Structure 1
Amino acid sequence: MEEASVAPRIAEQLRLLVEAVTDYAIFLLDREGRVLTWNAGARRIKGYAPEEIIGQHFSTFYTEEDRERGHPDAELEIAERDGRYEEEGWRVRRDGSHFWANIIITAIFDDGGRLTGFGKVTRDLTARRLAEEQLRVRSAELGAVNDELEQFRLLVASIRDYAIFLLDAGGHVRTWNAGAELIKGYSEAEIIGRHFSIFYPPDACAQNHPAHELEIAAREGRFEEEGWRLRKDGSGFWANVVITALRNDHGILIGYAKVTRDLTTRREAEEDLRRTATELERSNAELERFAAAAAHDLAEPLHTIAGLADLIDHRHGASLDPDAAEALGHIRGGAERLRRMLDGLFAYSRASHGEMRRERVEVARALAHVLDSLSARIEERGGRVDHDPAGLGVVMADGRLLEAVLQNVIANALKFTEGEEPRIVVSAARDGDRWRLTVADNGIGIPPEHQERVFALFSRLHPSERYPGTGLGLAMCRRIVERHGCEMGLESAPGEGSRFWFTLPAA
Structure 2
Amino acid sequence: MPDAEFFDESGRPRGFGGVRTGWNTAEQALRESEERFRLLVQSVVDYAIFMLDPAGRIASWNAGAQRIKGYAAEEAIGRHFSVFYPPEDVASGKPGRELETAVVEGRLEDEGWRVRKDGTRFWANVVITALFDESGRLRGFGKVTRDMTERRTAERALDERGRLLSHLVHAQELERRRIAWNVHDDTIQSMVAVGMRLQLMADRLPGEHAAAMRRLNDAVDASITRLRGLTFRLHPPGIDRGGLVEGLSGYLDQVSGEAGLTYELQHDLVREPSPEAAIMIFRICQEALVNVGKHARAKAVTVSLTSADHGVLVRVADDGVGIDRPLDALSPSEHFGLIDMRERAETAGGWWRIHGRPGAGTTVEFWVPALAYGEEGIPL
Compute the TM-score of the two structures, normalised by the length of structure 2: 0.37
**Whose RCO is larger (CA < 8 A, sep 6+)?**
2
Larger radius of gyration: 1
Compute the TM-score of the two structures, normalised by the length of structure 1: 0.28
